[in-house]
């Protein structure tokens, strides 16, 4: 499994602590440094079963600057959202765990981390 983290994020640190406590085998991806490509974002969205606006941190400064809250949330604008996430990775919700069964979870709670571990 892989976990996308921002080391400054307390939710990310909590998820790593739980993964370590459970003896999980995982790879850390510091997604602000190793920025996901649009294709990787599309793949994670597919695994999550979500749309790009579902994992966008709309309160971030870059989101406000771009005005993403006002962007249409529809298929015609999906690529615009994905490109924004790739160009501004701070907008990506965190942490995201890609599970071994091909799914993924936004692991902001202990229950979500445990869910990823059970897959």
In tens, the pLDDT along 49-106 reads 999 999 999 999 999 999 999 999 999 999 999 999 999 999 999 999 999 899 999 9
At how many degrees (to 10) do helices 10-21 and 110-118 cross?
A: 40
What is the pLDDT, as a whole number, of residue 55?
98
Catalytic residue among 4, 6, 7, 9: 9
What is the pLDDT, as a whole number, of residue 7?
95
- Mean pLDDT computed over every residue of the chain: 97
What is the pLDDT, as a whole number, of residue 22?
95
Mean pLDDT of 108-116: 95
What is the pLDDT, as a whole number, of residue 30?
98
At how many degrees (to 10) do helices 78-87 and 38-48 cross?
A: 120
Q: Element (H or E) spanning 10, and its range?
A: helix 10-21
Close Cβ partners of 52 (under 8 Å, ≥ 6 residues apart): 41, 45, 78, 81, 82, 84, 85
Q: Is 9 considered catalytic here?
A: yes
Pull the structure tokens for residue 37: 């490509």
What is the pLDDT, as a whole number, of residue 114?
95
CA 70 to chain centre: 21
Pull the structure tokens for residue 1: 């499994």
* Strand partners of residue 96: 4, 106
- Answer yes or no: is pLDDT of 11 > 90: yes
């Amino acid at each position: 499994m892989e976990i996308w983290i921002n080391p400054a994020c307390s939710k990310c640190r909590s998820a790593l602590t739980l993964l370590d406590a459970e003896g999980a085998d995982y790879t850390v991806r510091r997604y602000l440094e190793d920025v996901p490509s649009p294709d990787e974002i599309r793949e994670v969205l597919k695994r999550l079963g979500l749309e790009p606006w579902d994992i966008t941190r709309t309160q971030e400064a870059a989101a406000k600057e771009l005005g993403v809250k006002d962007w249409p949330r529809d298929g015609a604008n999906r690529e615009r959202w994905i490109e924004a996430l790739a160009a501004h990775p701070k907008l990506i919700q965190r942490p995201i765990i890609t599970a071994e069964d091909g799914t993924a979870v936004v692991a902001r709670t202990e229950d979500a981390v445990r869910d990823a571990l059970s897959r």
